[in-house]
Structure formats: C-alpha cells, structure tokens
Amino acid sequence: MAKAAKTRTRFVCSECGASFPKWQGQCGDCGAWNTLQEQAPPADGGTAGRFAGYAGDARTQSVRRLSEVAAEDVRRIGTGLRELDRVLGGGLVQGSVTLIGGDPGIGKSTLLIQAMALLAEQMPALYVSGEESAEQISLRAQRLGLPGERVQLLTETCVERIINLAQQHQPRVLVLDSIQTFFTTELQSAPGSVAQVRESAARLVRYAKQTGTSLFLVGHVTKEGALAGPRVLEHMVDTVLYFEGEAGSQFRLVRAIKNRFGAVNELGVFAMTDKGLREVANPSAIFLSRHAEEVAGSAILVTREGTRPLLVEVQALVDQSPLGNPRRVALGLEQNRLSMLLAVLHRHGGVGMFDQDVFLNVVGGVRVTEPAADLAVLLAVLSSFRDRPLPPDLVTFGEVGLAGEVRPVPNGQERLREAAKHGFRRAIVPRANAPRKPIAGLEVVAVSRIGETLGSLIGKI
C-alpha cells in the first residue's frame, strides 16, 4: 500500500507547475530553488484527473440572476461568549469555516473548549484533538467548570478517519486542534509540512461545505512565521482570527483578519484567569498604564478597532545613537510609517533625529494598524526627544500626510466622547474632526498642519 502510494504522489513546482516523481532541490524545468511540493495523486489514480466524477456539493447550483437569488439571512448561532460572537461578526454562521491562529500556549484550545461546551447545549458538537489526550482535555474542562455531558471528544490525527467518524456522528459544529498535527493518507510528507497542512485542511473544508457543518481549525503560528503556519490556509476559509497579546500580560486579544460575514479588524478582548478565558466587556481603557508621575515619551491615542474605540498608550524613547545608522524600532506599529513620520517631522516641523535611535511601543501588546496613530507617534517622539512630559489628561488622534498636513480620521466624535468618558480633559485632533457642539469637560485643539500641532504644544513641552 505504502509502495503504491509512493509511486503515485507527485512533486509539483509552485513556480511553473512542472511535476516530478521525486523531490529535488531545484526544479528541473524552470530552475527555481526549493519550490517543489508534494501533491496528492488524482483520486482514481488514472489520467482523468482528481475531480473526475465530481457531482457538486451543497453550494453547487445552476446559473441564476443575482436579483433572483433570495438573500436569506445567514443563520447565526450565539456561542455563549459575547466577545467571540463579536469578532465572528455577530455569532457563528452555520456552515462557515473559521481559522484560529496564534502562538503556542496563548489560549486557542481554552477558548474553543469553552465555546464548544456552550454550543453543545444547542447542537451536536465534536472536538477533535491531535495534540492533547482525552484525559487532559477532560481535566481542563472540569477545572474550568464546564458542562461536559454533551461535547463529543475524539483524539485522532488521520483526516480520512476523522471525516468517516464525523459522517457517522453528524456534528453541526466541529473543532480540529491543531491543523499542524493532522495528516491525510494521500501524502507521504510529515504532518505539519506545507503540503499536509494544505491538503488536510482542503479535505476538511470540503467536508464542512458539503454537510453545512461549522468548522473551527486551530493553527499554531510557527517560529519561522508563514511557512506551514496558518497563513497558507487563509484563502481557503471564511474567517481568520488571530490571537494577539503579550506573553506576560493576562489580556488576550482576538482579531478578525478576514471575515466573509462581518467587519475585519474587529477585536474581542479576554482575560486569561485560573478559570479560563473571561470576557472583558468594557475594554476601552485596560491598556492604559497609570504612571505615578508624569513621564516623557508617552502619548495617549484614541484608536478604533473594528467597531469600538480603544484608548492606548504610545511610548517612545529617543536616545543619542552610537551607530552611524541609527535604529528605528516600532513594536505594535508599522516601522516604515515611523520612518516616514520622522522625515515629516524634520521637513515640516524642523526637528531632526538623524543622530538619534528611536524606539516605539504600544503598551499591552496591541497592534495599531490605522494611520490615526500618526499624531500620537509624533507627540510621543517629540516628548521623549525634549524630555518633557505631555499633559497627563491629553489624548490625540489624526493622520499625518507627507505634505505636513493633519488629515481627519473616521468616527472622530465617538473617539472624543470615549476620551471624555475616561476623564481626559484635552484633545489635539485634526480640524475636520473638531466637534460642532462642544463636548462637556473636553477642551479640543483642532489643527490642520503639523507645525501648528507643535506650536500649540511647544509652550508646554
């Protein structure tokens, strides 16, 4: 059997598509290096191709007009965890495939066993683990005080057997933890290799779509980053969620990177406790570190992640550089954007940092992707450079352009109201974001150029 399979799997170049019976370092056709990947043989082993005899699945229909398609509401099921429902776009969509990625030990299995225990109250649920033994999972569920009578458990790593058993038990929701441990018998490569991860996932996704089962795939982010990690699956699934957060912090952020049924960048916030993951219902200020005294290099930014505002602290450290090529390091923000902002600061603000190392960090392990962080970055950098603290009751947001202009950002009013709610008294915002009606307790300084921003602060810092 193994011998027969050996003669049938092929190695296909991902660059040019040439196929070889054996693996080799260089493609004999196009000459590219390290592009050969194992691929499953055709289903019937013959020349008809692997999709011979394909009769369609649950989604296959005849050609229709767009307007004729009755837009049924997607059926959503509450998972019982409101923050998870939020990142999924308002609940789990029936028949959807969700990929949950993150570093090992960040809480993927914990989140899913909690969600499954709650979902199992409503529908048949099957949890397949390729990593932990049934005893380990059961022990954890007991410790977390989860009702376990209804969750079905399977420890198995062969995809064909899993699909077989799933066909017998017909779960409506299925968890596979983690995709790197599963293998399909069609391929010879080890579990966790790109070919195995991709092919195993493809089979499971096909099963989910044929049967309308909701599927959760867990994927570890490997040390090498993309290779064989969950990234190779992102295009196959409906929703991609990633865990973020610092190892030392108890907070865990779950971010939707892709969602066919909801907003991307939506953020769910949890805290890891000894009773598992707890939802943080009002997370807008949890990442603010309260300094005992005023410190230089810290600016408070009102960012907006998904559909709600979040107050975060942007920290900068500017220090004389011993290197000919000073360092620019940005954690939680984009490095190129920092370089650009420093150039704008020099050209339009007259402050040069070409002999300074600049380090930037967003407190709490939050990743800020929106350009609305620009003003906060500039103020934090300048405050550290001058070693003068910003007023502690000041917040800011706004995008900075290459011409030195300060551009408006979406949902300015909402951001300002959130800041006022948390006791901030002053805000520096883009002119177009200035509120028409004053916000009680908040003094708003509207700026349209970077020079003005510095001018309005220069007396203070």
Give residues in contact with ligand TYD (CB under 6 A): 102, 104-110, 140, 144, 272, 274-276
Nearer to Mg ion, 77 or 221 (CB): 221
CB of 111 to ligand TYD, least distance (A): 7
In the list Mg ion, ligand TYD, none, the entry touching 104 (Cβ below 5 to 8 angstroms by class) is ligand TYD
In the list ligand TYD, Mg ion, none, the entry touching 110 (Cβ below 5 to 8 angstroms by class) is ligand TYD
Nearer to Mg ion, 68 or 274 (CB): 274
Among 39, 96, 98, 109, binds Mg ion (CB under 5 A): 109
Please give the Cα distance from 255 to 100 (Å, whole number): 10
Nearest to 251 by CA among 362, 140, 148, 330: 362
Please give the Cα distance from 356 to 207 (Å, whole number): 56
Instruction: Note whether 193 binds Mg ion by CB under 5 A.
Output: no
CB of 104 to ligand TYD, least distance (A): 5
Q: Which residues of 177-195 are buried (b: 16+ CB within 10 A; e: fewer)?
A: bbbbbbbbebbbbebbbbb
Whether 332 contacts 368, CB under 8 Å: yes
CB of 194 to ligand TYD, least distance (A): 21
Beta bridge partner(s), residue 449: 405
Please give the Cα distance from 427 to 415 (Å, whole number): 10
Whether 456 contacts 394, CB under 8 Å: no
Nearer to ligand TYD, 56 or 248 (CB): 248
DSSP state of 37: E
CB of 364 to ligand TYD, least distance (A): 17
In the Cβ-directed half-sphere of 3, how many Cα atoms lie within 13 Å? Answer: 0
Instruction: Note whether 181 binds Mg ion by CB under 5 A.
Output: no
CB of 108 to ligand TYD, least distance (A): 3
Nearer to Mg ion, 100 or 187 (CB): 100
Residues present in the chain in total: 461
Nearer to ligand TYD, 137 or 376 (CB): 137
Nearer to ligand TYD, 8 or 140 (CB): 140
Residues 6+ apart with CB under 8 A from 432: 407, 408, 412
CB of 169 to ligand TYD, least distance (A): 23
In the list Mg ion, ligand TYD, none, the entry touching 283 (Cβ below 5 to 8 angstroms by class) is none
Beta bridge partner(s), residue 399: 407
Residues engaged in binding Mg ion (CB under 5 A): 109
